[in-house]
């Protein structure tokens, strides 16, 4: 322990070279008051200034570590310092009291785009959504398994005496328990990614929340209640995901503070160790009990409202919930609801809010059917075609094609769909329908609406009736509100990213020359683009090092070399490798795909993995990337060594 204290003291006394260098950059940028925000990606420090007049571009270009200065937007600068240094510079700017240091490029683009449009509340809710969205497949799988298990228990009361049904029930329960037991670990991992901390340390803090050792600590400190364990001040799982998110947020700040003072030679060893040691005690003894009371209070409040003894209260809440859900989606405010779902699921074992919200999608279907009939009479075959293509997805609970392709652009149908959906929401809330998860809605939602006090079968039947009510009411309101004259014209817009000049075709594994005497292998089948044709100023100029581009035919990417994975971007758009002969090779997927914040990019490797050229490292949804307006070009860079 003395050695650890000595190490902390020693690290704290070291003058951070990055802080000194950052101070020089701040001066060249016109001083602190002229810098509005500072962020980093894998290769660049991105700065927004209030005025370009005091910026000394010559000084910036000549500064230590600066490889290139890009100025392609008003009041915006990209200072290229290379991989491994961007984050330290961003932290140094943040320590100097400048803007918000976000440890990934997607955070920069989100902030840049939304800082004038979004309130702090909306930003906070979006952060919650970013944490939970990647967990939805697991949440849905666990919920479906819980739903089917509940149906077995109700439809086959003596299942325990029948080997087949008992075995099936046990497997379903096993899958559901596997996720729900460690949902705090997954939430901690994602929260650390989002807040710029080390993901595995965030996951460990989250997993600690659910371990039985917490109960032992509670007994030692007299914080346990042996008669009613769940009423203990501290017990395993106390505070749930809310405690984890807040705890990881604090831990991320602690980690950045330690890293800024830690010698680079021991950073990877001692920074995560000291971070967890310093944070775990206040997390367990303060944050978990505090958020335990918060979670219990939230669950109690919504239980009293959504399952009130007054049917009038339940009807009113159900109608308002279904009516307002899609406006919340359109404004991005719906992300915060995920935290409420999770709290209810942890505290009650089911979710009462989600069934009412699910009616909103059914309202879109009913409105779309009415619009289709009106559009057909008005001769608008294009709108009919759009609706025909979007309806199957809408029936299965995927509402985005109908929302953004039909009702929202037309305006009034978006409102009439919500008005009709409200009646379905009122019904399911009055009947106390509850779900075992969230995610599936529409017809697919039938299999998860198996919670609540009325039993699984009753809940499912009332959910189906609620869908029908929403379909019918939305159809009628829309049909009698929208006139054929409103639908005389329609259209659809699609974004295409055409390939530039065609080059030679290569296959995965073919040799590519990035510089004389230095080769890599193509990570994908496609057309080769020389460095000067890559549509990004930094790459085309070879600032980071010699590089080559390949326009992929398919979305499966292999390693461009043998070696080890040295880093993976938080947003998944770039992976860096160290070859056996000591070279640093970066594979960068797409131009500006970092703005997708990981959507469409499924990374299959992690830092420290040993890989070969036959190893699949990523799968990318090329259609999604192109539809979002980005080029999916793969760029292979041999990174130049910098002192």
Other Cβ atoms within 10 Å of 227 Cβ, number = 7
Q: Which residue(s) pair with 79 in the sheet?
A: 45, 69
Nearest 5 degrees, angle CA 94-CA 98-CA 104? Answer: 50
Domain 14-117 identical in fold to domain 505-638: no
Question: CA nearest 523: which of 597, 436, 619?
Answer: 619
Q: Is 51 helix (H, G, I), strand (E, B) or coil?
A: coil
As averages over each run of 10 residues, the pLDDT of the chain (643 residues) reads 43 56 84 80 76 83 78 75 71 70 42 44 60 69 72 77 88 82 84 85 90 87 74 78 87 88 81 90 90 72 70 87 75 57 72 85 91 84 76 73 69 88 92 78 79 78 93 94 70 31 70 74 88 80 84 90 86 86 87 82 88 89 83 86 47
575 in Cβ contact with 594 (< 8 Å): no
Other Cβ atoms within 10 Å of 468 Cβ, number = 13
The fold adopted by the segment(s) 14-117 is Gyrase A; domain 2 (3.30.1360)
Residue extents of the structural domains in the chain:
14-117, 182-306, 311-487, 505-638
Q: Does domain 505-638 have CATH number 2.70.70.10?
A: yes
Is 41 annotated in the active site?
Answer: yes
59 in Cβ contact with 30 (< 8 Å): no
Q: Is 586 helix (H, G, I), strand (E, B) or coil?
A: strand
Helix 183-195 with 120-132: angle, nearest 10 deg: 130
Active-site entry in 41, 145, 473, 547? 41
């Amino acid at each position: 322990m003395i050695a650890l204290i000595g190490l902390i003291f020693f690290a704290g006394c070291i003058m951070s070279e990055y802080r000194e260098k950052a101070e020089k950059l701040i001066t060249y940028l016109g001083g602190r008051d002229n810098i509005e925000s500072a962020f980093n990606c894998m290769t660049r420090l991105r700065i927004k200034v209030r005025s370009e007049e005091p910026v000394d571009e010559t000084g910036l270009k000549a500064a230590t570590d600066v490889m290139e200065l890009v100025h392609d937007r008003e009041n915006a600068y990209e200072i290229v310092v290379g991989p491994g240094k961007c984050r330290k510079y961003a932290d140094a700017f943040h320590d100097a009291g400048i803007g918000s240091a976000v440890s990934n490029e997607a955070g920069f683009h989100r902030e840049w785009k939304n800082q004038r449009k979004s309130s702090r509340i909306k930003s906070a809710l979006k952060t919650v959504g970013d944490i939970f969205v990647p967990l939805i497949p697991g949440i849905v799988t666990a919920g479906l398994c819980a739903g089917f298990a509940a149906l077995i228990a109700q439809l086959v009361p003596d299942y325990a005496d029948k080997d087949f049904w008992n075995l099936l029930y046990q497997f379903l329960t096993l899958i559901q328990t596997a996720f729900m037991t460690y949902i705090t670990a997954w939430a901690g991992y994602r929260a650390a990614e989002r807040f710029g901390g080390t993901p595995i340390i965030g996951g460990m803090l989250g997993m600690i929340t659910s371990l039985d050792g917490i109960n032992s600590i509670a007994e030692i400190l007299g914080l346990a209640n042996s008669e009613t364990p769940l009423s203990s001040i501290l017990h395993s799982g106390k505070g749930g995901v809310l405690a984890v998110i807040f705890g990881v947020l604090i831990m991320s700040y602690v980690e950045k503070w330690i890293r800024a003072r830690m010698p680079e030679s021991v950073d990877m060893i001692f920074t995560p160790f000291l971070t967890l040691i310093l944070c775990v005690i206040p997390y367990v003894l303060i944050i978990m009990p505090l958020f335990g009371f918060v979670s219990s209070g939230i669950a109690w409040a919504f239980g009293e409202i959504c399952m009130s003894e007054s049917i009038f209260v339940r009807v009113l809440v159900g109608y308002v919930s279904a009516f307002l859900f899609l406006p919340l989606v359109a404004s991005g405010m719906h992300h915060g609801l995920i935290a409420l779902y999770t709290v209810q699921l942890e505290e009650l074992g089911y979710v009462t809010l989600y069934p009412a919200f699910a009616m909103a999608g059914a309202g879109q279907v009913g409105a779309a059917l009415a619009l289709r009939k009106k559009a057909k009479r008005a001769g608008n075959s294009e709108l009919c075609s759009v609706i025909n293509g979007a309806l199957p997805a809408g029936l299965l609970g995927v509402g985005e094609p109908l929302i953004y392709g039909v009702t929202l652009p037309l305006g009034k149908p978006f409102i009439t769909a919500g008005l009709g959906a409200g009646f379905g929401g009122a019904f399911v809330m009055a009947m106390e329908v509850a779900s075992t998860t969230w995610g599936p809605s529409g017809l697919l939602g039938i299999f998860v609406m198996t919670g609540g006090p009325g039993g699984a079968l009753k809940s499912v039947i009332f959910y189906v009736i609620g869908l029908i009510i929403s379909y019918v009411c939305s159809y009628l309101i829309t049909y009698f509100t929208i006139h054929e004259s409103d639908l005389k014209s329609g259209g659809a817009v699609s974004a295409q990213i055409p390939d530039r000049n065609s080059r030679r075709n290569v296959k995965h594994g073919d040799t590519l020359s990035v510089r004389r005497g230095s080769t890599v292998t193509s990570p994908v089948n496609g057309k080769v683009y020389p460095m000067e044709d890559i549509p990004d100023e930094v790459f085309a100029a070879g600032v980071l090092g010699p590089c080559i581009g390949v326009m992929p035919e398919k979305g499966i990417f292999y390693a461009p070399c043998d070696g080890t994975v040295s880093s993976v971007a938080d947003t998944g758009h770039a992976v860096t490798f160290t070859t056996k002969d000591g070279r640093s090779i970066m594979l960068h997927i797409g131009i500006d795909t970092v703005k997708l914040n990981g959507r469409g990019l499924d990374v299959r490797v992690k830092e420290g993995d040993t890989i070969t050229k036959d190893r699949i490292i990523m799968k990318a949804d090329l259609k999604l990337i192109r539809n979002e307006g980005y080029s999916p070009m793969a760029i292979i860079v041999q990174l130049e060594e910098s002192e």
